[in-house]
Structure 1
Amino acid sequence: MWRAFFIALGIMAIIIGFESLIIESADFYSNRGSSPKGLLDPSSIPGQTTTTWKPKEWFPWLVLSVGSLIVIYSFTLPKRFQTAG
């Protein structure tokens, strides 16, 4: 179970690292102030407040390397647990 958890965690970190390499910035919309009618109207703004996130230059490489190390470490987990007990 721990092995699968760490593999999933590492793969998610690798995906986030690749995505942040590709994007220049990301806009997060808040749902405050929006109504169901506004979702059906294409001319309305989806959210009243937006937050723009621009990843630093080092962020994608850090997340990719940490994700890769977690995946590599997770493949050694069964061997470590078998020799301990």
Structure 2
Amino acid sequence: MWRAIFIALGIMAIIFGTECLMIDSAVLYSGEGTKAIDFFDPTGVPNGASSEWRPKEWLPWAVAAAGWITVLWAFTLPRRWRTANAEG
């Protein structure tokens, strides 16, 4: 079970890092006071409370690298746990 959780977290970090490499910025909208129909109106902003997020230049590489290390570490978990339990 732990192996699957760490693999999933690592893959999520790899995907997030790759997405940050592909975007320049992301606009985050507040859900308060916004109706679903407001998102379909191309002339207006869904809500006045929006913020723009720009990832730092180092963030995608650090997150993707941490994801790869986590996935590789998770693949070695069962082997290390089996040898530790067999010895003790």
TM-score (norm 1): 0.89
Q: How many residues align?
A: 84
1:17 corresponds to which residue?
17
| Identity among equivalent pairs (%) | 49
1:39 corresponds to which residue?
38
One-letter amino acid matched to 1:62: A
2:74 corresponds to which residue?
74
RMSD: 1.6
- Greater shift, 43-52 or 53-62, is seen at 43-52
One-letter amino acid matched to 2:31: N
TM-score (norm 2): 0.86
Structure 2 spans left out of the alignment, 5+ residues = none
Q: Does 1:57 align with 2:57?
A: yes
Identify if the C-alpha distance between structure 1 residues 34 and 73 changes in structure 2 by more than 3 Å, giving closer, same or farther.
same
Matched-pair contact (CA < 8 Å) for 2:39–2:45: no
Identify if the C-alpha distance between structure 1 residues 48 and 65 changes in structure 2 by more than 3 Å, giving closer, same or farther.
same
Structure 1 spans left out of the alignment, 5+ residues = none
Which digits, 9 at most, give the CA deviation of each residue in 1:29-58, with x for residues without a partner? 00222246x538625431221111000000
Write the distance in 2 (CA, Å) between the matches of 1:72 and 1:23.
26
